[in-house]
Structure 1
Amino acid sequence: MYSNDAFSQWLGIERLEISKGNCRLQMTVRKEMLNGFNIAHGGITYSLADSALAFAANTHGNKSLSLETSISHLAPVKEGDILTAITTEESLTGEKGKYLISIVNQEGKEVASFKGMVHRSSKTWF
């Protein structure tokens, strides 16, 4: 999946661990990811979390697409910060999957919390 994911590659996302329903991804915040306040644009943490949702949800082999997502930005993110997305599958029932993603910085401080619900298609991708 990663080999076809140009956006995750552009973000510089590294896959640390991927298992059924769970994953850990990591990336470093670059200068071009900062907003006018010299902190990371909120879309950066959202994009990391959304990629983590996709990687975790698709580990079961069914093409999974997000239905609903939300994010809480808990602390500012700065250039050079190393962000890790830690994904947990909370439930998986039939066509729906529910996931929680915690984004932490290199100090272990949670900077964002993301919730996602996916639809699991009957189509397989691998």
Structure 2
Amino acid sequence: MDISEETKSRLLQNLSSPFDGNLLGVKVADAERGKIIIEVEPKEEFTNGLGIIHGGVTASLCDTAMGGAAMTLGIIPVTVEMKINYISPAGTDNKLVGVGKVVKEGRTLIFAEGEIYYKDKLVAQSLGTYIVKNPNMSSK
């Protein structure tokens, strides 16, 4: 990880929140400034009536990946808006991998992109805008 120990600690703490950490089981696989890779072992409870991962779970993972990428900058991001494109379905027999990247870092807004993969296949792409809630903590 190419980020400060304080940022790494805050990142892991924030991504281990009751929603992400306990419900979805998000784990940080790798992180550097402006980028993060997360992993989730999907559960049957994550599926819809068709037996594929529910779009809401995929959207949550996109938001978590993009927000996590923003957190690597040493700030606390809050989602302002998000867009997602669902590209292909995912099942529960392999982990889901989320990649979040900061596209543009501003003083008040962060723009990020996210991708979710299942068996090396692109499942979803997203774009998000995040407001910086603690600009004094920014590492800029």
Pair in the same fold by TM > 0.5: yes
Aligned pairs, how many? Answer: 124
* Gaps in structure 1 of 5+ consecutive residues: none
Following superposition, the deviation at residue 38 of structure 1 comes to 1.1
Secondary structure of 1:45 counterpart:
helix
* TM-score, reference length from structure 1: 0.89
Tell me the C-alpha RMSD between the 2 structures: 1.7
Counterpart in 2 of 1:30?
43
Following superposition, the deviation at residue 61 of structure 1 comes to 2.0
Following superposition, the deviation at residue 40 of structure 1 comes to 1.1
The answer to whether the aligner puts 1:41 opposite 2:45 as a matched pair is no
CA separation in 1, counterparts of 2:88 and 2:122?
A: 7
Q: Contact between 2:46 and 2:53, CA under 8 Å: does it hold in 1?
A: yes
* TM-score, reference length from structure 2: 0.81
Amino acid at match of 1:53: M
Which of 62, 74, 78 lines up with 1:61 in the alignment?
74
Following superposition, the deviation at residue 72 of structure 1 comes to 0.7
Counterpart in 2 of 1:73?
86
Following superposition, the deviation at residue 83 of structure 1 comes to 1.0
Q: Identity of aligned pairs, percent?
A: 23
CA separation in 1, counterparts of 2:94 and 2:84?
A: 19
The answer to whether the aligner puts 1:98 opposite 2:111 as a matched pair is yes
CA separation in 2, counterparts of 1:13 and 1:80?
A: 16
- Measured against aligned partners, the alpha-carbon deviations of 1:51-90 in whole angstroms (never above 9, x if no partner) come to 1122111222222111110111111111223111111111
More strand by share: 1
